[in-house]
């Protein structure tokens, strides 16, 4: 790849992306409806598969509902303490209605499950970036998939709708950290022309050391990357998820 070393490739968008950090602690200060509207509607420009727009967004401000969502996500306090919680939903319900309008039945499949989940994820990422561009802080909440049926019941989802992840949004309680959490080495993640399988172990070990150093400097007693991954993924996570999502109207074949 040719890189022009005399030019700095930077825009407001890349600046925002380069400053990203998940924020879990918020000021008691409202995010205005107008600002939220601007964020959500900018994010709605995100690409979606075949323009099917197979997602919905749910905004939850009510403290009591957020408290219940916090419990469902495994007691994640920031869902209660943020100003606004936003959920990103895979939504096959609307496609089913559109099909019925033309006397057809929506053929659900693994593909519709993936398409709706990907669409929801893309709009969610755009919301995070747009929110951060306004100086807001946010953290995505995959914990919404701990008990997706209870989330659906609480928020009144019809069949064919599940929350892929949520997001706590608010004004950050602290200044952004001087040093951001290091990512995996670029050479391990970005491949050119062909996937490069060469010597991943030494580069993973290199990242383990970098991350251990990062946590160590913050007095965070968190083990580095590969160890926790190995422990976390030595058995299937959320083993009931397929069964639950099938009962909620999603197909996996
Ligand atoms: C899909 C998704 C789900 C996530 N779920 C949670 C969550 O439930 N709780 C949480 O505290 N952080 C969650 N995170 C945030 C990640 O932990 C965080 O992005 C990662 O550790 C990198 O840190 P950084 O975003 O501060 O750079 C989630 C992130 C993603 C992309």
Distance (Å, rounded) from C-alpha 165 to C-alpha 142?
Answer: 5
The confidence score (pLDDT) of residue 5 equals: 66
Q: Starting from the edge strand earliest in sequence, which strands make up the sheet with 137-141, in order?
A: 55-60, 84-91, 161-170, 137-141
Mind listing the pLDDT tens digit for each residue in 120-145?
A: 999 999 999 999 999 999 999 999 99
Mind listing the pLDDT tens digit for each residue in 181-196?
A: 999 999 999 999 999 9
Instruction: Report which ligand 1 atom has the smallest distance to the Cα of 78.
Output: 11
Which three-class secondary structure state does DSSP give residue 88?
Answer: strand
Distance (Å, rounded) from C-alpha 130 to C-alpha 88?
Answer: 15
The confidence score (pLDDT) of residue 103 equals: 98
| Long-range contacts formed by 9-15: CB under 8 A, 24+ apart | 12/133, 13/129, 13/133
In the reported structure, the alpha carbon of residue 142 is separated from the centroid of ligand 1 by a whole-number distance in angstroms of: 7
Copy the structure tokens of residue 159: 């069949």
- The stretches in the chain having pLDDT less than 50 are none
The confidence score (pLDDT) of residue 4 equals: 63
Q: What is the CA radius of gyration of the chain?
A: 20
The confidence score (pLDDT) of residue 221 equals: 75
**CB under 8 Å to 74, separation ≥6 — which residues?**
143, 146
In the reported structure, the alpha carbon of residue 20 is separated from the centroid of ligand 1 by a whole-number distance in angstroms of: 11
Domains within the chain, CATH numbers bracketed: 12-175 (3.40.109.10), 182-236 (no CATH)
Among 220, 215, 168, smallest CA distance to 25 is for 168
For residues 79 and 69, the answer to whether their CB atoms sit within 8 Å is yes
Burial class (CB in 10 A: 0-12, 13-18, 19+), 107: exposed
The confidence score (pLDDT) of residue 219 equals: 85
Helix axes 110-133, 33-43, angle to 10 degrees: 130
For ligand 1, mutation pick of 141, 172, 180 (most atoms within 8 Å of CB):
141
The confidence score (pLDDT) of residue 151 equals: 98
């Amino acid at each position: 790849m040719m890189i022009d070393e005399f030019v700095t490739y930077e825009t407001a968008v890349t600046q925002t992306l380069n400053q990203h950090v998940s924020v879990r602690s918020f000021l008691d200060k409202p995010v205005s409806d107008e600002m939220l509207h601007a964020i959500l509607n900018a994010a709605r420009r995100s690409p979606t598969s075949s323009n099917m727009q197979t997602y919905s967004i749910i905004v939850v401000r009510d403290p009591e509902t957020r408290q219940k969502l916090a419990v469902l996500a495994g007691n994640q306090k920031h869902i209660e303490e943020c100003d606004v919680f936003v959920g990103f939903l895979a939504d096959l319900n609307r496609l089913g209605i559109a099909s019925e309008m033309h006397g057809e039945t929506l053929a659900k499949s693994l593909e519709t499950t993936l398409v709706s989940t990907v669409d929801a994820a893309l709009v969610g990422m755009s919301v995070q970036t747009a929110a951060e561009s306004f100086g807001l802080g946010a953290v995505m909440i995959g914990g919404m998939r701990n008990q997706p049926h209870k989330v659906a019941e609480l928020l009144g989802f019809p069949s064919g709708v599940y929350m892929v992840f949520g997001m706590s949004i608010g004004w950050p309680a602290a200044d952004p950290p001087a040093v951001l959490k290091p990512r995996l080495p670029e050479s391990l993640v970005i491949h050119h022309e062909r996937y490069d399988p060469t010597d991943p172990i030494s580069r993973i070990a290199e990242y383990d050391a970098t991350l251990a150093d990062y946590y160590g400097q913050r007095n965070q007693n968190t083990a580095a990357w590969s160890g926790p991954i190995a422990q976390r993924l030595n058995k299937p996570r959320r083993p009931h998820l397929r069964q639950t999502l099938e009962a909620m109207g999603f197909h996996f074949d």
